[in-house]
Amino acid sequence: MTMIEALQIDCVELTGPASGQGVMHVTSYHAQPQGYLNGGATLAFGEILSGMLSNQLIRDDQFAVGQSVTANHMRPMKAEGNLIAKGQLLLQGKTSHVWRFDMYDESNRLISQVTVTCAIVPKNR
């Protein structure tokens, strides 16, 4: 099982030349002991999503790897329902991409904002 499968991430798609989105189906698997979404799952979602989106934008002989992830958690979310990420590509350089994701619950409340820097590296490295 991959981390993408374990975290139940899907619906990943580019929505424009510098934007994308994805969904993480949140269950008790994603919960901290108090029953709320664990911030670590949110960061992993952001890093996975940024890599998947960047990989759609770069050459076939390259791939994106997470280099830095930061987050601000705005409000707690019960570990149920969907976490919807809407992202903007802030920097599309030759060797790095920077994504910023606003992550919302199903009621469109901002849960977290995650920024990810991806290194763009050659596949034959």
The predicted-structure confidence for 6-20, as pLDDT tens digits, reads as follows 999 999 999 999 999
Confidence check: pLDDT of 125 > 80: no
Give the residue-averaged pLDDT of 92-100: 98
CATH fold group of domain 3-122:
Thiol Ester Dehydrase; Chain A (3.10.129)
pTM of this structure: 0.96
Q: How confident is the model at residue 43 (pLDDT cuts 50, 70, 90)?
A: very high
Residues in the chain, overall count: 125
Can you read off the two tokens belonging to residue 39? Answer: 């911030």
Enclosing H/E stretch for 81: strand 81-92
Percent of the chain with pLDDT over 90: 98
**Torsions phi, psi for 13 (to 5 deg):** -155, 150
